[in-house]
A and B are shown apart, each in its own frame.
Chain A
Amino acid sequence: MEWDIGSEARELDEKSFSERAKLEKRSLKKFTVAFLVYFSVMTLFYFLL
């Protein structure tokens, strides 16, 4: 049985460096949310540890 894994990454690899480096707005928002998650977890550690 054979699977197809990584086809999207392969397609992206064929694009130029600048296209790979460019981030969509949606991704930037998610990075911002991730930082909020980090600060929330650290606050939780502050009270728990």
Chain B
Amino acid sequence: MLELILIIIILAFIFELMDSAAGMGFGTGLTPLLLIMGYSPLQIVPTLLISESITGFIDAYFGNELKNVKFSFKPMSDATKLALIIAFFGCIAIFFSILLTYVALELPTIFIKQYVAILVLGMGIFAIFRTRWKQKENVTSNLKLMVGFSVIAGFNKGIGGGGYGPVITLGQIHSGVYEKSATAIVSFSEAMVSVVGICTFLLITAVGVEVDLALLPSIFTGGFLAALLTPYLVRVLPNKMWRYIIPIYAIGIGIFLLLKIFVL
């Protein structure tokens, strides 16, 4: 029986809309809400991974179609190369996340989460000031800097601190990537990383861990509709707006992460 839950569809739509538009927040925002609603991690995580992989590819495809970014393989465009580099570090990060989680390497979780929250908050604040300082737009982007940010984001995810999307998106912006293109590149790379995550869950299922995909139709419905709408919104709204929306949303996520550590 295919069950569609309206509140889950609405939540998935809102968080996917912001994730596709600002390059961050789907997992960070939706996971704690679903946990509060009484769903277990084994109901949430594989569902989010499957949904994010499909919606990520949809978002990237329509981002390309609506000229927010140019993805091509023959010849390979710079945006495609960057998405692959980011995905590569993301996949390594997923691998280490699982190693650290299942090999039970003890890490001071609270310090890791604090470090990631402060990093995201700091990058968001810096991005706001950068927007005010920089009058002239950069036409080119700095690859070395972007690889550095990919490593930092991968490291954060690898040690279990999250914050992959904010660091990658803000890292691209700091490296000179146009905001509208940066979010589409994140969606493409996160879709590839999510596929690796799904494969990992398939392996876990093979050794007897049961995953529950009852939430998938609802999350997929909300996410899919948002992934279709967002590339059009990104195209129509001027880049100036995204230049403020992205860091402000990142600051919000940073504050939310800190609240989660100290208050919730």
Task: Say yes or no: B238 contacts A5, CB within 8 Å.
Answer: no
Flag if B69 contacts A45 (CB, 8 Å).
no
**Segment 1-49 of A: residues with Cβ below 8 Å from B:** 1-10, 12-13, 17, 20-21, 23, 27, 30-31, 34, 38, 41-42, 45-46, 49
Interface 1/0 per residue, B211-251 and A, CB below 8 Å: 00110110011001000100010011011000000000000
Interface centre among A2, A5, A10, A12 (most CB of B within 10 A): A5
> Using Cβ atoms and an 8 Å threshold, which residues of chain A touch B137?
10
The tally of CB-CB contacts under 8 A between chains A and B is 89
Q: Please give the residue numbers on chain B whose beta carbons come within 8 Å of chain A beta carbons, in ascending order.
A: 2, 54, 58, 62, 65-70, 78-79, 81-82, 137, 139-144, 177-178, 180-182, 185, 213-214, 216-217, 220-221, 224, 228, 232, 235-236, 238-239
Which 3 pairs, one residue from A and one from B, show the smallest C-beta to C-beta distance? A6-B178, A6-B181, A2-B140
Interface residues of A (CB under 8 A from B): 1-10, 12-13, 17, 20-21, 23, 27, 30-31, 34, 38, 41-42, 45-46, 49
